[in-house]
Each structure stands twice: as structure tokens, then as C-alpha cells.
Amino acid sequence: MAITGAAGRIGSVVRAGLRDEVSRLVLVDRVGLTAQSPTEEVHRLDLRDADAVAAALKDVDAVVHLGGVPDEAPLPDLLEGNVRGTHNVLEGARRQGVRRVVLASSNRVSGFYPVAETVTPAMPARPDGLYGVSKVAVEALGRLYADKFGLSVVCLRIGSFEDAPSERRHLSTWLSPRDGLGFVRAALTAPEVRFATVYAVSANARRFWDIDAGADLGYVPLDDAEAFDASLPTDGEPAASDPQGGVYAGAEYTLRHI
């Protein structure tokens, strides 16, 4: 299998968690990496290079695509890093006959829904910024390649991936490293999936998102941000009418990139 964005925070956790479970682990990133076991194979490349991406995916049975621009940025950068990069991964997977593609989407595709509303993957997208828009496009590309070319694609709408919650919003959005790895493992191994979109979030009592789709993949999260409630700042508690995206939904968060 392969991991793009293998040097990133999530990529590093997935790499360490799956290293001993596969016979060959292809690590792709634009920064230099060093193989840490005989199973690892490193490729330093830019995801905008379609031919290099396809070459790296040769003889790979599954790919976890985590590479790209990780936050709000000018739209041209997001289109290049997230949309074009994802297209190259999907096209490389199609050309090389890859069995399963797991795409890193984001909870920010639905950040303008109010806190009081429980959101499911079937509801229309309401992105909270340009980054969220790019992830809507990522999901659309995944759907296209599943419908048109028969790829098996799972989109994970990743929550706030942190070692521990650090703000009040995380009581709803936290994704622990243990649960993050669990969702990725399930997305890779779930049988008979043509296309699925799942909120990857821990079992937080205050979560905004429905996690039944994750259970359908075969994973039920274990951690709950509520255990950290007493250690978090008391200010910043969202009101029921506030957008789930919190600060990401504020106009200034996007205007500085326009």
C-alpha cells in the first residue's frame, strides 16, 4: 500500500501504525523521508507531477491520500495542491489498477451548519472556507472515479486531529490518533465498498456529526473528548446557532487569502 503526505501529522501516525501490517509500504511526500524498516519504500515527489505519482503507485493495492494543502490558502494554491493533486492520485490509481483509494476530506466541507444540527454525509455541503471548497471537489473527484472507472473510494471527513483537545470546539470535533488510525484501517479493509463518505471523529458526546457510516465500515471510535473538559479553557463555548466551523467560518479567516 501507499501513503501520500507521509511526512505529515496524520501520515506519520498512519505510517507507524500500518508499517508492520503490510508487506510493502510506499511513502510519498515532497519532503525527504528515510525508510525505517525493510518494508518501507520512499518516493520524494510533487503530487502535481502526474507521471511520477503513477510510477510510485505501481504494484500498489491501496493508497491513503493525505497529501495536499492542509488549511485555508489562496484558491489557486488549493486547486493545485488539493484538487489537481487528488486527480493525479486517482488517475494514477486507475492506470495502475489500485484496489482501494482512501481520500482525506475534512469536516470543513460542512462547517456552516449550526452547532445544534447533527450532520450526515448525505446532506449538502456547506463549506466554511476555500479549503472546505477544495475538499468538496476532492470528494466529487472520488465519486467520479468510483462511478465512471470502478475504483473503490472512501472519503474520510477528518475531525480535529490532535493528541488531546486544546479548545472548547474540540469537545465536538476531536479525532484522537488512535481513532484516526482505526478509521483509516477500516477504510482500507472494509469489503464491497464502491464509494463511501464517513465523518472520522472520536466518540465525543458533543459531536456534531453522525458516525453511523463509520460503523458501516467496521469501525466504532473509542475515545471521547469529554474526558478533557475540565482541563480546557472555559471561554469559547459555541452557541447553538454558531457555525460548526467556529473561527474557520469567520470572514477574516478567508479574506486574508483573497
Residues with catalytic annotation? 131
d(CA 45, CA 99): 22
Provide the β-strand partners of residue 188.
Answer: none
Q: Is 152 left (phi over 0), alpha (psi -120 to 50) or beta?
A: beta
Element (H, E) at 139: helix 130-149
Cα dihedral 166, 171, 173, 179, rounded to 10, equals 90
CB 110 within 8 A of CB 246: no
CB 25 within 8 A of CB 1: yes
**Ranges assigned E (strand) in 36-159:** 40-44, 62-65, 100-106, 152-158
d(CA 247, CA 241): 14
CB 10 within 8 A of CB 187: no
| The three cell numbers locating residue 141 | 473527484
* Cell 466541507 sits on residue: 109
Q: How far is CA 41 from the centre of its chain?
A: 22
Provide the β-strand partners of residue 1.
Answer: none
